[in-house]
Chain A
Amino acid sequence: MPGNVPITHYLFLSTALFTLGVIGVLARRNIVIILMSIELILNAVNINLVAFSRHLASVSGQAFAVFIIADAAAEAAVGLGIIIAMFRNRGTIQADELDLLKW
């Protein structure tokens, strides 16, 4: 165990991050912040995976976390690209102004 921190602490941290992320996605209006909130959830997942990996002495959790980090980067790249396209067309990146298509 890393130091004497029990697994539940990591789980609490991860749950807190997850909740913050979900709240961020649902409550914030700026799309870049929404994107960041999603990244927050992904990091909550990473913390979970690494903690479990350590706890269960299985390396596959850490490997998975690496894949998620790579995927998050790809997603962010595509996401920012889409946001820029949107900004060019509409001149705004506020989620509540995306009203051309009925939600």
Chain B
Amino acid sequence: MEFVRNHILTITLFTPLAGAVVVMLLNKERIDAIRWVANIFAFAGFLVSLPLVFWFQSAQPGFQFTEEAMWIPSIGARYSLGIDGISLLLVMLTTVLGSISILSSWTAIQDRVKEYYVFFLVLQTGMLGVFMSLDFFLFYVFWEVMLVPMYFLIGIWVGPNKLYAAIKFFLFTLFGSVLMLLGILVLYFSYHTQFGAYTFDIRQLISLNLPLNTQIWVFLAFFVGFAIKVPMFPFHTWLPDAHVEAPTAGSVILAGVLLKMGTYGFVRFSLPLLPGASADSRIVKFMVALSLIAIIYGALVSLMQKDWKKLVAYSSVSHLGFCTLGLFALTPNGIAGSVIQQINHGISTGALFLIVGIVYERRHTREISEYGGLSNVMPVFATIFMIITMSSIGVPALNGFIGEFTILQGTFEVNKVWAGLATIGIVLGAAYMLWLYQRTMFGPITNPKNEKLADLNWRELATLVPLVIWAFWIGLYPKPYFRVLEQPVAQIVQRVRPGYYAKRAVPVPAQPVVVPAQAQVTTEK
């Protein structure tokens, strides 16, 4: 047990990879065996990550479950893992969504099954590595390696335009990450100049004291890398293309986890390592402006979509605008809300992509106009879709509300206009989601092809129900989430705005100031 406790992160990290190796060894004709093995390993990946939740000490500052080993001595790169509250949530999101999306591909993927699962499991390891790395170099390696399986997932399965989308995805992210690498190197050399040692360890790099000018250049280099991944406004164009072409499970993982890596990058690296630049008013205005544009633009474009999946894809742009807005409000509420919203987006958008996938598998079209009145034939489906819609638009008692509200609160603290503009996004969000729901679910069945559609089977239910439960959990009892975020968020704010807590006499870091009324009484779990 001691061994497991000391190496829990490594175990969690490499379980999917082990699955990939096992799948690789199987004969490619034995499709069922491959499916079972992949699902078992994905689920095992979730199970081994569960102890993290129980062993995690929310009150303890700094990173936990840390593991250290030398990797490349000559450049000072280390294999060092560790998580804090922020990474804990994202790791859990990854293992949950990973096993769900692998389960959801059971019938959707029919050709080249073996390669599909291999790539998927490798991708899973890559994403977990990104969230666990404490060494900037290791982080970069995971960040880049992940591109390859994702590229194949988009490129090989589904979609008439897949080549274009896959290459666009790859090129965009590669451009971003090479510039990021230069930024990393600047930090690396500056650390050597100041402290006489070469290291990529972010716990050490944090003690760097860089002139503002350098910080801004490095910030911009990181910005390109992270913003492309998020994606923030001018860089978002790869996202809809990639989503439309990716298989359902790929979309779930792409939206649910991959995009979070961009925001995670900001919160883990940009803010603490470059506090001067992050708090610089030009940078803040720039980031907030891009976020607000993303919120409103994403919502407006969603309103106009005729393609169901594209609509969900553009809604991601809008939702992630909220996440970056919260981050660059630079208040405890803003940052905590942003992290929670990242999880929420993973849950609700992941579920929405599953929903699109389910109807797509039945009808092989994603045109919204092809559907209508589905609630008549698929009542269970319609109910779940309703709950997820509510979660996505931020109705109280569901998760979306908690995230958006906390972000708005944190933003309002610094600038009322920003908060006001962001509210427009919420209104538009309600509009496009409800309109989508109305067009597809309500009314009589207009298209005869929809008359015989089957409702959800047990496997589809198994993929959606956990997400619904999770949505309610966060919506009704978000306290544990805020508790694990308290320490890391306070540290970041302390770093970016050293005077923040001093100004307020009582240091109350990251409290959920408003919890929905029911939360106090109904404790779901």
A–B interface present (Cβ within 8 A): no
Query: Chain B residues in contact with chain A, CB under 8 A?
Result: none
